Chains A and B, each alone.
Chain A
Amino acid sequence: MIATGLLVMSCEDFLDVNTDPNNPENVSPDLVLPVGLNYTSGYIGGDRQLNHLGSMMMYSYGEAEGFDWYDAEFNYRLSGGFYAQMFQSPYTSSLKQYNVLTNQPEQFGYYNAIGNIMKAYHYQILVDMYGSIPYSNALQRGSNVAPTYDDPQAVYDSLIVQLTDAINTIDQTNSMDNVAQVGVDDAVFGGDMNKWGAFANSIKIRILTRESDVKDAAYINSELANIQNNGYGFITGNVGINPGYIAFESGKQNPYWNDFAIGFDESSDNTYLATPATQFVINFFQGLDDPRLDFIFETPSSGAHNGINQGAKELLASTDDLGPGGVSNFNLPSSFDEFNGPSNATLGEDEGVLRGPEMATIIMTQAELQFNLAELALEGFNVSGTPQSYYEAGITASFQYLGLSASDASDYYTQSTENVSWTSSPNKMNAIHTQKWLGLFGLNMGQVWFDYNRTGYPNADPVGVSSSPIARAPSGFPISLETNETDRPVRLLYPNSEASRNPENVPANSGIDPFTDYIFWAQ
């Protein structure tokens, strides 16, 4: 007892050693924000994340020979395991981080606003894929381990309110003293809060457009007026996240590049090798005389674009070289050609979709904003421009982002081709959504999938003849050759984890038909 007494007494606070020396209990918001944004970047651009899923759903990519990569996607084999990360990852990563920001004291008003804007950005995507989602009781950690599900329309309504509040918070914080300024930790706008206001407005446009068919016009118009009146305007370019990606370091590359191009150790990624264009897409671009094709996909060494339609691989003659070296994979900057395995990289810097390991991940394109405004204008809502002007601005934004010029764009959209020029298009809605599909290609394809589910567009036939087998949905848009369904799914099923962890609240997957149970915004 004496010995123990000596040992215990000789060190003061003998038991007081339970402060974790490895991880801090508290950190300032500037250390939380960039991680949240990096999660968002991964959620949009990462391996089998939203852009990847949208691209598979919207028939962008096939599968090269030697790979068995997209079995579930090509079969539209939905289950509680299919892309469960779409549900799980935001709640446990990005939304969790943004929720830390929205629980900060007043002097962190800017962080609070950014947190709320990014939450709205994610929650809309969750509604667009799942309908009812945990919202008002979500993100409460141990205090509520089984949150209830909110009605999707109510979530949408609340998101508009949250975005308005965020803009108000920016205004209020502008007039306060001793506020924490946002800086380089803001991997989107570098702390420019006016741009955050503009981004909030642009998300509102995405929300209002999506619900424009089911919400009464007065509501839409009054919200459009609010946007007009707050003075922040809209985003003027593409919105991208770049927390400072590093070219050749493990885990520090842009996640989209890392997935689809060249790894940190300069080896080609298998997803890159496995994932060529569909022949349909190649025919489509070529048929519309669209120069964007070469900025997105490479020309294989055979000298001509070669694609594989979804599920077609085993139906094609084996004499075709359908391996990674013979098909059109993503085009990359030529400076990466030496690392690039079986490819012919031809792009310059700042061209194309995949621009290098240090690029930003685009989470909203200027083109999308313009096409959304075009749709609102076409439907007669109170926006300032004409549908044609927004439509052409959308095409121009897409051309410019890929490395083409405004005059290349006007050369393109002045062709008298249906779904290319505004005036030559008898179905304006189809034209908008066809160009939205082409304009968001490889970037934010999830949005295009949601709009297809809402509108049934695009439905256009490709121009040109293909030897590649193809199957079509009733809309005319192609579907995978492997599926027995008549069209692609219109939503996802809830992840299995919710059935086992939150069974009281999650709607049962057995009661959901993912091919016919549309999200509320579809008419």
Chain B
Amino acid sequence: MLRKILSLVMVFLITAGVAFAQSGSIEGTITNQQSGEAVVGANVFIQSINKGAATDQNGNFTINDVPYDTYELRMSFIGYKTKTISITVDQPTVTVNEQLESSVAVLDELVVTAFGIERSKKSTPFQSKQVSSESINEVPSTSPAQGLVGKVAGLTINQGGGNIKPNNSINLRGLRSITRNNEPLVVIDGIKANLNAFRDLNSEDVENVNVLKGATSAALYGSDASNGALVVTTKSGTQGGELQVGIKNTTTFNEVAFVPDFQTKFGTGIDGAYVPYENTNWGPRFDGQVRILGEDFPDGYPVENQMVSYDYKEGAIKDFYQTGADVKNTLYFSGGVETGSFYLSLGQNNKTGLVPDDEYQKYTITANGTKQLGDVTLGVNANYFSDTKDVVGNNIGEQGRPLKWHIINTPGNAPLTQYKDYQDPQSYGNPNNYFNRYYDNPYWAIGTHRDLDDTNRLRGNVSAAWNVVDNINVTGRLGINSVNAQGKNFRERQTYEDFRVSNDFLSATVTDSESQYTAVNGNFVAEGKFELTDQIGLDAALGSSVEMIDSRNSSITANNLSVPGFFDISNGTGSPITNVNESQTRTYGFFGKATFDYEDWLFVTATGRQDFTSTLAADDNSYFYPSFGVSAVLTEAVPALEDVSFLTFLKVTANNSTVYSDLGAYETTEVFVQSGAFPLATNGFFLTNTAIDPDIKKEKLNSTEFSLNSAFFGGRLNFDASYYFTNTENLITNISPSVASASTGYLTNIGKLSGSGYEATLGGDVIRSQDFSWNVSANYSHYEQQVDEIQEGTNEIAIGGRQFAIKGQVFPTLKTLSYQRDDQGRVIVDRETGEPLTGTVDSQGQTTPKHIIGLNTGVNYKGLRLSGTMTYRTGHVYYATGIDAMEFTGRTVESAASNRNPFVFPNSSYEDPNNPGEYIANNSIALAGDRSFWTGQWNNIKENYVRDASALRLRTLAVNYSLPAQLLSRTNGVVSKVSLGFVGRNLLTFTPTDESRFSDPEFGGGGYFSAQPTRSYGFNVNIEF
């Protein structure tokens, strides 16, 4: 298979080298019809030969090497009406000076949709939003996904685990499946890729990202369509354009934005008594007295006992983290020749982490090019990505806990940052002398537990587009997305002195892992435009696509290593533990699309795809994906509207589609798995834990969307709105059967979800003048999924993290054990102990935001630009795992609220012993308020750890200054652009202040294992030649 692909690639490359014939050039200037100013960056393009240029700072353009002939020359630019003129090239230089009329973007804007099919925005029956390179890179970050936050209604991006290599989760319009993928499809340069490929891009290489919302927009992709799509286009240079060379540096500094709220009154100990080696904070109240901290060393031990004042060490946790540097450089070359264009960039990103010694490097090379060969345009997009990560291990010490666990288990009176030296046997950081008997010195962990990863990705595609006749062209694309990665995780051996009775010793271990992933995608599309009658036109496409994914992961672990500091598999004792996992999937499909237009204002689109997949049984592996849509431009259809002077544009659309979500490889068959302990004397296999429904089908999603797009005052004000609803049936659900069925899960099609949502975007230019402009755009979205049906006899399914799918309720819903409350809402307490009574497991709210608001603004004054993005998400809750986990140590704010004294539970009541069912206000029965209460009943009622997840954030703030052209002209055209900027990300975050906070829910959910919330600030410099 691979050989065939390579030979196809070779054919493209060889044919790309052929050159040809006799020609002239077109030169000219484009100006604004109203003001007479130069239009900078306008596109001038000849469709039939696929050649064009962009206007420069003075509105000038040149298209070289145009064969003698007559052409349609199209001039377009965002904010202007596109103009097409006829021009005949019959001499070496033809001059064209044209004026463009300001207009409304949507009228002529093109949208790149599925399989690279470009459609005029007014004909698309679904919602999409394009985000430009400038917007994404206003505040550059390691991953381009970060640049989309807050800019698109309905698009939610959260920071996942890991600070140094961000692993953002991306979601469009909420969740539609309980167990299946809820991530949007990613298409890069016309070829299906995946989210990781998008995350790995150098954001500077991105030309734009078109966010296609809803399943209808992606229905042509079949089983990947259900969550919408991000259609990414990378930079390509301009055919016939000038060579540009640029360098851009962005340097930012990351710091911890947030450390947990902890109590500051009590330190090391148990039940009010001082215990010098405890991690728990149940000791006496801080008194400043100097006491022994840690083990009482035996007589003759060469280290003196550590004496530390018993008071709160403010900032110890925050000071543990350092400020990380993030330096990103991109060198790029962009330009074109007469018959082609190219873009080449080299990117480098070096980061140091918040955790000392964490390091990350990322390198990217992108090479894109096009070549014109008569009626055929050949293209190549190639991207090579390589990164290395060296971070502290994730499973530290005997208990295998993450670093953060060891940090937060440092009691308030311990001077955490004084334990940096762990190697010197005389230091208090040395594991033998470290004060904490139960958890390890984080600095020791950093030095002795490491996770190393190298990832390399080669992603690229070749394409050929043939303009067969004027109105028909065909395009073929073939792409590859290939990843290979190696990892090494290791832990160093540690021995302990005999007096540390709780610590025996820690053996050394190493795991080597490798993974390979190759996805090959091909697609072929034929498009044609036909005038059926004077009024009716047809825009049709037929195509096919194929995908092949092969992956292989393997790991070897060697335990109990013998030679210290030598982390090789050969150093292990016993047999190494090995694991290999391979998988293959194949899909292909045939599709068609037809858009009929009536008088260029009414568009009716139907699409269909017949899809075949390898992951289902051969007799039931083919599904049909239909979609229908209507778009009507009312401002062109209704004469009355044309007379409304302030209304420039009004389009309404409706669409409906049915798509299916695929199963994964090998999911449909029960298998035997080699049992963990085996081979012993014999080999051994166990029947897999999950039972599988032999008749399992794909999950079915039907979605409907109504929307409008409008523009007012010549496009100065825009308003878009949409309403949609979805129905998911045959949910592929791993239900939890009775364990007595001999299975822990049962994979079947059960349940229905229905969802709806609306979103609106209002934006415009508040001020638009020659030197000064100010634009603001606000977007709002709301979506909600409800569980209509689960299996018979079951009302809910746990989906992890205390989240549930509950019949009749919003999905996902957080449920926890709650208080018992009387009918006045007072907490019912035990009449003897005063302790609140445990109620039932109740819903605590939804975990996806009910309301999301994004606000973007930019102010331009001459070369100076100030821009920012804010977001507000609210109406949802999260479970503060970290606070729950720290209750046992007496570290939480609540645990010190009563100063460890008895107190009457606020707003409580108790049952009247004489009138059962009646409740008497409790003003006097005090509960103990000691360790056993907080770690017992309080900790048992998990409602205590539900937090409002609302947050208002200043996501980005940037000030950029571009040097004026007059100044640059002194360099005689050597330097064409110099810009300097200051940038900040997550500078301000406001969360509800009436609750204690452990973390930021957007950073991995708020648990102790999640990434540390960060803020960053820095500068960037961009010079172009």
Residues of A at under 8 Å CB distance from B? 1-8, 10-11, 14-27, 30-32, 34-35, 38, 66, 87-88, 91-93, 95-97, 99-100, 133-134, 138-142, 144-147, 184-185, 187, 243-246, 248-252, 264-268, 270, 273, 323-325, 341-342, 495, 497-498, 500-506
Contact = CB atoms under 8 A, between A and B. Distances in A.
Given A8-B588, A23-B688, A32-B684, A273 B522 contact: no
B672 A25 contact: yes
Interface in B717-773: 735-744, 746, 748
B504 A341 contact: yes
B666 interface: yes
Nearest to A138: B740
Contacts of B616: 18
Contact of B738 (A23, A146, A250): A146
Interface residues on B, range: 35 or more
Given A34-B684, A96-B686, A246-B680, A4 B743 contact: no
Contacts of B545: 4
Contact of A498 (B543, B588, B738, B746): B738
Contacts of A323: 501
A146 B793 contact: yes
Given A16-B614, A17-B586, A248-B560, A138 B680 contact: no
B416 interface: no
A306 B501 CA distance: 17
A7 B742 contact: no
Contacts of A249: 559, 574-575
Given A24-B671, A140-B741, A265-B560, A18 B665 contact: yes
A502 B740 contact: yes
A28 to B, nearest CB: 9
Contacts of B583: 21-22
Contacts of B693: 142
User: Interface centre among B666, B677, B680, by most A CB within 10 Å?
Assistant: B677
A139 B742 contact: yes
A501 B739 contact: yes
Given A15-B614, A498-B739, 8 more contacts: A10-B1, A15-B587, A32-B684, A142-B741, A185-B684, A187-B681, A243-B682, A501-B739
B345 interface: no
B117 interface: no
B738 A265 contact: no
A35 B584 contact: no
B739 A184 contact: no
Given A15-B618, A267-B507, A252 B680 contact: yes
B740 A91 contact: yes
11 contacts: A4-B590, A15-B613, A22-B583, A35-B675, A134-B740, A141-B691, A141-B746, A145-B741, A250-B559, A252-B680, A498-B738
B920 interface: no
B581 interface: yes
B194 interface: no
A142 B747 CA distance: 8
A23 B671 contact: yes
A21 to B, nearest CB: 5
B515 interface: no
B588 A14 contact: yes
Contacts of A138: 740-742
A31 B504 contact: no
Nearest to B793: A504
Given A16-B614, A31-B684, A266-B560, A4 B546 contact: yes
Contact of A147 (B526, B582, B740): B740
A454 to B, nearest CB: 25
A34 B621 CA distance: 38
A502 to B, nearest CB: 4
Contacts of B266: none
B479 to A, nearest CB: 12
B588 to A, nearest CB: 5
B510 to A, nearest CB: 13
User: Interface centre among B8, B672, B741, by most A CB within 10 Å?
Assistant: B741
Contact of B505 (A88, A147, A267): A267
Nearest to A5: B544
A267 B501 contact: no
Contacts of A140: 741-742
Contact of B741 (A30, A31, A144): A144
A14 B738 contact: no
B524 A97 contact: no
A38 B505 contact: no
Contact of A32 (B398, B685, B739): B685
A270 B437 CA distance: 13
B671 A31 contact: no
A24 B1 contact: no
B676 A134 contact: no
Nearest to A145: B737
Contacts of A497: 736, 738-739
B966 interface: no
Contact of B735 (A10, A145, A505): A145
B686 A93 contact: yes
A22 B681 contact: no
Contacts of B739: 87-88, 91-92, 495, 497-498, 501
A308 B718 CA distance: 78
Contacts of B587: 15
B20 interface: no
User: Interface centre among A19, A24, A245, A251, by most B CB within 10 Å?
Assistant: A251
Contacts of B743: 92, 96, 141-142, 145
B478 A3 contact: yes
A31 B575 CA distance: 20
B4 interface: yes
A323 B693 CA distance: 53
Contacts of B4: 6-7, 10
B614 A25 contact: no
Contacts of B524: 1-4
A3 B586 contact: no
B585 A17 contact: yes
A245 B674 CA distance: 16
Interface in B275-320: none
A334 to B, nearest CB: 18
A498 B675 CA distance: 26
A486 to B, nearest CB: 19
A66 B501 contact: yes
A34 B614 contact: no
A246 B793 contact: no
A171 B764 CA distance: 90
A70 B692 CA distance: 38
A388 to B, nearest CB: 41
Contacts of A34: 678, 680-682, 684
A272 to B, nearest CB: 10
A502 B612 contact: no
B921 interface: no
Nearest to B509: A265
Contacts of A100: 687
Given A142-B692, A145-B737, A250 B577 contact: yes
B573 interface: yes
B794 to A, nearest CB: 8
A35 B684 contact: yes
A60 B202 CA distance: 64
A22 B674 CA distance: 9
B580 interface: yes
Given A99-B742, A501-B738, A244 B680 contact: yes
Nearest to B559: A250
Nearest to A190: B681
B502 interface: yes
Contact of B523 (A4, A14, A145): A4
A193 B626 CA distance: 63
B504 A134 contact: no
Contact of B746 (A5, A23, A145, A251): A145
Interface string B776-816: 00000000000000000100101000000000000000000
A91 B793 CA distance: 22
